[in-house]
Structure 1
Amino acid sequence: MTDARAPESLTVRLGLSRAGGFALNVDLSLPGRGVTAIFGPSGSGKTTLLRCIAGLEAGATGELHVNGQTWLGPGVCLPTHKRPLAYVFQEASLLPHLTARQNLAYAARRASGRGTGAAESPGNASAVGEQDVIDRMGIAPLLDRKPGQLSGGERQRVAIARALLARPRLLLMDEPLAALDAARKEEILPYIEQIRDLAGVPVLYVSHSVTEVARLADQVVAMNEGRVVGQGAVAEVLSGLDIALPEGEDTGVVWQGPIVEQRAEWHLSRVACAGGDLWIQQGAESRLGVSDGEVRVRIQARDVSLSLKPFEQTSIINHLPAVVESIYETSDGAQALVRLRAAGQPLVARITRFSAHHLGLHTGQPVWAHIKSVAIVR
């Protein structure tokens, strides 16, 4: 059903109650293109939200409008098979008796026979060519193998290719790397990064990995206990001091910018970020397949120290002026998270409460941020 709302947007107002007290209650307006990460700890409702969007939860109520089409609303409830979406699960759900090539063909046939006419609608992935998908996913050597003959990473790449060839108007990805080891994750991440160019449709990507979110997402929706606790650009949401992070992960920010200088003698590259220039290790961008000179970096709070005055006699090479925006004392009573603004961009420092007291930190105070380490993520 066609809806009069802006064609390049998603409206997601969904509710669901389950036995045991869990309740999903979200009200979101999301961009109609790019990758939106659904982020949060286990049990926060990320997968449940995707299942409601896919029509897999019979008790879901509310409204769902996807790029000009109403899937759920007053008098409308499209069944799953009529919702022009593709779903990539944690475990690649390929048909085991078919080869990779036959799995792709099956998806293409389903797209051609979809009864809603959505496959021909503007804003979906109907223009994606099969050979282009095969080439970009790097699966040409795998086409004549059955799923049982593929590694976990290879199966997931075929599953992603199959999802794209289904010509969806919305692509749902539910922790597609969760079942893979670290090496296989690194193998497949560059392929997932290409989805934006290949699909041309919105992608909702569920994850509880800060690294994946920092590398892949354009927007982030942070969830906890079935509700949205943060939404917006990656840099803003990941710098939030109150979002729940997986054990071992630290809060931080994601910045990006072009590489504007190379110092071969020191193996360093200078990145011109909106918050200030940063020096990074030269060569990291080539290992991640960066070809356009634009990189995305993550600065963890633990790698940022503060001073009231600039100083040069130090091994730290990244120094930026900033202003204290807020101070949050951590639950252990020993540390403080200081949210800053550097040329308008968010930045977070994790320091001891003693240091915060010793420096007399307060909202609005100008400081210098010294960044010990910068991790390039894309």
Structure 2
Amino acid sequence: MIEVALRHRFGTGGFALNAAFSVPATGVTALFGASGCGKSTVIAAIAGLLRPREGRVAIGERLLLDTASRICLPPEARRCGVVFQDARLFPHMSVATNLRYGLRRAPTGEQGPGFGEVVELLGLAPLLDRRPGALSGGERQRVALGRALLARPRLLLMDEPLAALDAPRRAEVLPFLARLCGAARLPILYVTHALDEVDALADHLVLMEAGRVVAHGAVEEISARTDLPLLSARRDAGVLLPCTVEHVTEGVAVLGFAGGTLRTAAHVGPPGTRLRMRLRARDVAVATEEPRGLSTSNILPVTLAAILDAPEPAEAFLRLAAGPSLLLARVTRESAQRLALREGMPLWALVKAVTIDHRGGPPA
């Protein structure tokens, strides 16, 4: 497990951090919240770039920080690779030399991906002879990711690595980042305020607000909670469902999940590809009778598990059970009353849009 407990204040009356969480030391943990909530401060304290007034940071049995026992490893001894918003490459060095700088920092005998593997993973072969000034912002971030990975860290820390990029560059880098996260074979803490990055990358989620952790757990579990305004108040609130591409016909892919199938025109890869889809609550409608004669092709039999409050007083969330999977629909309270909705009632869910993340995998 990765265990973090930090208390710190910047000056008298300044920003106060009082954050604690424990997550598995595998996969990607996203620290999510609005700008200024303390996410980057947590990363700095874990990396040893900030010494908190009180705190404890442990990766498994290895203590990086324990102020009560006066343990505070220096940054170079913590074996944390850090990737910032700006790539921080050496401008006088080529891409290849920047990458090899990371490799030179790797401890002797430490296992990890080699130079060629990282170059292929991040698509850097055409860039090796260039200098950072001749790269786009997205290309520079890919090089920074590669350099951090080649240092063979025990923990990779990413502090909003895509925040400084425009939308086209973010779209360019995100698939490479997803591949890196899947192949890195080490725990990653990823700071972001972009929900699409959480959807694409995260296995675990830590929600932060005003210097405190308000929830943490598996990303599918946290995303489906309606009692967390940080998520439920968003217009893209909804659930994440792991799925597998069953087949593709005339450009339409059929995605199977635990509870049914959904169709999408998105490019999702060949049959067997594993993905995760976001079903936004605003894109799910319900009917009390099986609809007929509709252009909507995603119609699922469900059971109304609960009627829940929404941040807007005139709205409600419907928790819908599709087999073992749970969906959310956002409806007006007037609609719920008009349809006489009640818990346990059989319904039909009409899914108007399916959003696919960037995470793929080997055939199931």
Q: With structure 1 as the length reference, what TM-score do the two structures score?
A: 0.87
Post-superposition offset of 1:53? 1.0
Q: Percent identity?
A: 42
2:347 paired residue number: 367
Residue 34 (1) aligns with residue 61 (2): no
Q: How does 1:67-86 map to 2 (within 5 A)?
A: 67-73=60-66, 74-86=69-81
- What's the CA shift string for 1:342-372, capped at 9, x where partnerless? 3232321111121122223344444322111
Tell me which residue corresponds to 1:325. Answer: 306
Deviations 1:149-173 (A, max 9, x none): 1110110000000010010000011
Aligned residue number for residue 362 of structure 2: none
Amino acid at match of 2:7: G
Secondary structure of 1:194's counterpart equals helix
Aligned partner of 2:188 in structure 1 is 203
Residue matched to 2:160: 175
Per the alignment, residue 261 of structure 1 pairs with 247
Residue pair 1:133, 1:198 contacting (<8 A) in 2 also: no
When the two chains are superposed, the root-mean-square deviation of aligned CA atoms in Å is 2.1
Distance of 1:291 and 1:230 partners within structure 2: 35
Q: Does 1:54 align with 2:37?
A: no
The residue type paired with residue 205 of structure 2 is: V
Distance 2:237 2:198 in 1: 12
Deviation at residue 196 of structure 1 after TM alignment: 2.9
Per-residue CA deviations over 1:194-225 (Å, capped at 9, x if unaligned) read: 22343211011111111111111111111111
Larger deviation, residues 19-28 vs 145-154: 19-28
- Whether the 8 Å CA contact 1:152–1:184 is kept in 2: the answer is yes
C-alpha deviation, 1:248, in angstroms: 6.7
Moved more, 242-251 or 336-345: 242-251
For 1:1-378, list aligned pairs within 5 A.
9-19=1-11, 20-73=13-66, 74-112=69-107, 120=110, 126-241=111-226, 242-245=228-231, 249-264=235-250, 267-281=251-265, 284-286=267-269, 292-320=272-300, 321-331=302-312, 333-378=313-358
Q: Secondary structure at the match of 2:142?
A: helix
Post-superposition Cα deviations, 1:218-256, rounded to whole Å, max 9, x if no partner, equal: 111111112222222222212222241599742011112
Give the secondary-structure state (helix, strand or coil) at the position aligned to 2:65: strand
1:116 aligned partner: none
Structure 2: distance between partners of 1:293 and 1:357: 41
Q: TM-score of the superposition, structure 2-length normalised?
A: 0.90
Please list every run of 5 or more consecutive structure 2 residues that lacks an aligned counterpart in the other structure.
359-364
Cα distance 1:203–1:157, how it changes in 2: closer, same or farther (>3 A)?
Answer: same
1: distance between equivalents of 2:253 and 2:22?
37
Q: Once structures 1 and 2 are overlaid, which stretch shifts more, 162-171 or 353-362?
A: 353-362
Q: Distance in 2 between matches of 1:363 and 1:291?
A: 37
Q: For the Cα contact (< 8 Å) 2:2–2:58, is it kept in 1?
A: yes
What secondary structure, in the 3-state scheme, does the structure 2 residue paired with 1:284 have? coil
Deviation at 1:301, TM superposition (A): 1.1
State the partner residue of 1:5: none
Q: How many residues align?
A: 353
Say if 1:330 and 1:337, in contact at 8 Å, map to a contact too: no
Structure 1 stretches lacking a partner, 5+ long: 1-8, 114-118, 121-125
